[in-house]
Amino acid sequence: MKYELVSGFETHVELATATKIFCGCTTAFGGEPNTHCCPVCTGQPGALPVLNKKAVEFAIRAGLATHCEINTVTHLDRKNYCYPDLPKAYQISQFDKPLCEHGYVELESGKKIRILRIHIEEDAGKLVHERGFTLIDYNRGGVPLIEIVSEPDISSPEEAREYVEKLQLIMRYIGVSDCKMQEGSMRCDVNISLRPEGSEKLGTRTEIKNMNSIAHIEKAMRYEYGRQAEILSGGGKVEQATMRFDETTGETSVMRTKEDAQDYRYFPEPDILTVNIPQSEVDRIKNSLPELPLEKLRRYIDVLHLNAQNARLIYKYKAACDWFEEAVAAGASPKNTLNLIVGTVFSRLDTEEDKEKFDVGISGAQAAELIKLLDGGKINATLAQMTLAKMLETGDGVEKFISAEDMRGMDDGELTRLCKEAIAANPQAVADYKAGKEKAIFALYGYLKRATQGKADVQKATEIIKSLI
């Protein structure tokens, strides 16, 4: 029998506030264990929580960016459980009245993954298992979180990847979190069940906890699909359980049978008053939202008519998009600006974090002065690339590297002479090209590039070289 995968996600996102949700302790990542905590976030007797207004604002931003309805009257609840990472034996969260409800995240296919709710809560401490002991670091305890709960609308590991990536992009774009999964500021609990193909009835689900890697999410989902399918095909029943994923073996295993909501004995938090949010405040936050990632990608492709592959490379990085927009606003063509970012600027940025920061040393407006020369045909693409590399290296403007002589270009006679020189200097490359190795001609381009300092028109040089050979 064939089975359909049905999956929903509970995604915890740490909010980028300077202080914790109920006290003034720093939320900075790292630090010596138990140095970023106080009587409030460690649950000492008599210590009372005070709700961080910025955390509420960030949660509303997240809700609006995922098309949620905002509950302007809401409250906090106690979620009771006894575990070492919560010294007061309860977590302040939200139960029956979450801050945000009934939204969605749209995939590029147009499919909408529905958001059931987004609520605010405090993070727990971190357990460190070493040499047979369990150590507790409460630095993370009390860091503000939002929990984004999707409906079971995800039907494949590929959809799961795109959903998490889209969610990560949205949160970064609106500035509520850096969503660094490697640092734990975005973590996913993955709920999975199987049902016979074509059936509408949901199967028994398992929950894979605390996934902090998109690649591992895909692997865990594929393994858990196979495990459950084997049980069902053998006539057995899947047991509702909380699972862990072993990154070494690529397998899931049962940690404990799954608790239900009633096991947490929720009740309204008595130390925090009902939260009343003026509609005018919701409207203000809504009006402050930037263009969202998928909207931007569609504008780049459909309105600016940019190459779709290159547009997808840039839209993932908000700072890079801001630089691109600045250059275009200063008069540079979108096409040449994008090509230079992808071909020249990105080559200098080694990591994803470097691309996210996009700290390149010159402004988009400075780059526009160079790109406008390319747009107007005063310089060629090769010279533009070489000049941009120098500008990025030094921080200097285009006027330091491009002279009036450079903009006059090179006449056909001079270019033909240099093409003959390139052919004479690279006999092996010429022989390889004649033998059918198309890429061998790049050696001739390299000679011309060095000899002319990038002034040669590559397209015209190609025609001349091929005619000469």
Q: What is the pTM of this model?
A: 0.84
Mean pLDDT of the chain: 91
By C-alpha distance, which of 105, 100, 96 is closest to 58? 100
What is the per-residue pLDDT for 256? 80
What is the per-residue pLDDT for 414? 73
Query: What is the share, in percent, of the chain residues with pLDDT greater than 70?
Result: 95
Is 210 within 8 Å of 217 (Cβ atoms)?
A: no
What is the per-residue pLDDT for 457? 67
Extract the tokens encoding 341.
């970012």
User: Residue 177: pLDDT above 80?
Assistant: yes
Strand-by-strand arrangement of the 100-106 sheet: 69-70, 100-106, 112-122, 144-150, 3-14, 186-196, 206-211, 241-246, 251-257
What are the CA-CA distances from residue 63 to residues 109, 116, 119, 295, 427 (Å)? 22, 11, 9, 17, 64
What is the per-residue pLDDT for 432? 80
User: Residue 405: pLDDT above 80?
Assistant: no
User: Residue 413: pLDDT above 60?
Assistant: yes
What is the per-residue pLDDT for 12? 97
Architecture in CATH for domain 412-468 = Orthogonal Bundle (1.10)
Extract the tokens encoding 395.
């921080």
User: Residue 20: pLDDT above 80?
Assistant: yes
Task: Read off the pLDDT of residues 336-367 as tens digits, 9 standing for 90 and up.
Answer: 999 999 999 999 999 999 999 999 999 999 99
Task: Read off the pLDDT of residues 369-388 as tens digits, 9 standing for 90 and up.
Answer: 999 999 988 888 888 998 99
Least confident of 47-56, 321-330, 364-373, 406-415: 406-415
Residue 261: pLDDT band (50, 70, 90) is low
What is the per-residue pLDDT for 36? 96
Residue 409: pLDDT band (50, 70, 90) is low
Query: What is the share, in percent, of the chain residues with pLDDT greater than 90?
Result: 75
What is the per-residue pLDDT for 408? 53
All structural domains of the chain with their residue ranges: 3-285, 293-407, 412-468
Least confident of 32-41, 100-109, 451-460: 451-460
455 or 106: which carries more pLDDT confidence?
Answer: 106
What is the per-residue pLDDT for 420? 85
The arithmetic mean of pLDDT across residues 76-91, rounded, is 92
